[in-house]
A and B are shown apart, each in its own frame.
Chain A
């Protein structure tokens, strides 16, 4: 084993980190090797100087400053929860008012448009009636239906509401019972 192989063990030994069984073998080698003795003394000296270099006390003002900053941050962190509740509550109330405000009214800008086929494609309601009428059991009287309803199928009415925001268009779809 040459001196280069001992280097790692000597570095651990200098800081008191070598296991006792390994330290015994190293000490035998050190007794015979001047080069490794010099390495050990150099390592111990640099460790001593390192500890001296970092032994300067830190001023109390630095700790006080950190404490102040931490507690300022913690105090700031405590308020937003209540502020958020207050703000969100106000926001919810404002939204409710807005929804009430944009309710379709007669004087608002409402354009009743003929629904496009894709919007108003409704299942053919007369089918059940037709079937019912065609297969009306003999033993039961068919229920009387209003003539207007029987004659005119219910078509859904689509009301397109334009708002002040061009990106917001409200479609209000309802059944038209006939006016």
Chain B
């Protein structure tokens, strides 16, 4: 339930009236109004970028770029309704561009695998489980990671994910089912569980 509450906090849906007014004022050049908009959506953007990129420094760089693009494109962004979707789309695109510029490495740690093999019956600690789950997300392709982050972590519907990523709902469903199976297989192999 904590995770779901966090998800609810992370992604404000649509735009309230106050936010719409702030966007209008920001379009007119009011930086204070733009800061209001930023404060409302910064958590959503930074957390999504962090989940996509895996480290805080890159996520901060990506968030900065997202909000600069927002400022430059305020006239093109709808004041309400699809504002979150626009932000998600730009965040995914910026993270994708950043991912291309840096070497992507899957943090496969042989030491961890060996310890599981030595004592397969031992239950993993919470920290270990979290590390493995983060690893499982990193081993997905960029598109699979994006759909998992938006659907399973940000809580968007498959339709909203499809709009944010500019693809069809059928494609999103296919990608997300494959990604979930891959992650489950990875976790199962890591902890030496067999079906």
A17 touches B195 (CB 8 A): no
A12 touches B136 (CB 8 A): no
Contacts of B180 in A (CB 8 A): 11, 14-15, 43, 46-47
B31 at the interface (CB under 8 A from A): yes
Q: Give, as a whole number of angstroms, the nearest-CB distance from A164 to chain B.
A: 44
Contacts of B56 in A (CB 8 A): 58, 62
**Per-residue CB proximity of B1-16 to A under 8 Å, as 1/0?**
0111011000000000
A103 at the interface (CB under 8 A from B): no
B181 touches A74 (CB 8 A): no
A71 touches B31 (CB 8 A): yes
B171 at the interface (CB under 8 A from A): no
Number of A-B contacts (CB under 8 A): 122
B42 touches A53 (CB 8 A): no
Chain A residue with the shortest CB-CB distance to B62: A66
**Per-residue CB proximity of A43-57 to B under 8 Å, as 1/0?**
101110111111101
Q: Give, as a whole number of angstroms, the nearest-CB distance from B146 to chain A.
A: 14
Count residues of B near A (Cβ-Cβ below 8 Å).
50
Contacts of B106 in A (CB 8 A): none
A17 touches B64 (CB 8 A): no
Q: Is the interface of A mostly helix, strand, loop or mixed?
A: helix
A52 touches B3 (CB 8 A): yes
Q: Give, as a whole number of angstroms, the nearest-CB distance from B36 to chain A.
A: 11
A71 touches B3 (CB 8 A): no
A119 at the interface (CB under 8 A from B): no
Q: Which positions 137-195 of chain B face chain A at CB distance < 8 Å?
A: 137, 148, 151-153, 158, 173-174, 176-178, 180-181, 183-184, 187-188, 193, 195
Q: Give, as a whole number of angstroms, the nearest-CB distance from A7 to chain B.
A: 6
A67 at the interface (CB under 8 A from B): yes
Cα(A58)–Cα(B60), bound, Å: 11
B46 touches A63 (CB 8 A): yes
Q: Give, as a whole number of angstroms, the nearest-CB distance from B149 to chain A.
A: 8
User: A58 with B177: in contact, given A17-B158, A46-B133 (CB under 8 Å)?
Assistant: no
A58 touches B46 (CB 8 A): yes
Range, interface on chain A: 35 or more
A177 at the interface (CB under 8 A from B): no
Interface residue ranges, B against A (CB under 8 Å): 2-4, 6-7, 31, 34-35, 38-39, 42-43, 46-47, 50-51, 56, 59-60, 63-64, 67-68, 71, 129-134, 136-137, 148, 151-153, 158, 173-174, 176-178, 180-181, 183-184, 187-188, 193, 195
Interface residue ranges, A against B (CB under 8 Å): 7-9, 11-12, 14-15, 17, 35, 38-39, 42-43, 45-47, 49-55, 57-58, 62-63, 65-67, 69-71, 73-74
Q: What are 19 contact pairs spanning A and B, CB under 8 A? A: A11-B178, A12-B177, A35-B195, A42-B184, A42-B187, A42-B188, A42-B193, A43-B184, A46-B180, A47-B152, A49-B130, A50-B148, A51-B7, A52-B133, A53-B130, A55-B3, A55-B6, A58-B56, A74-B31
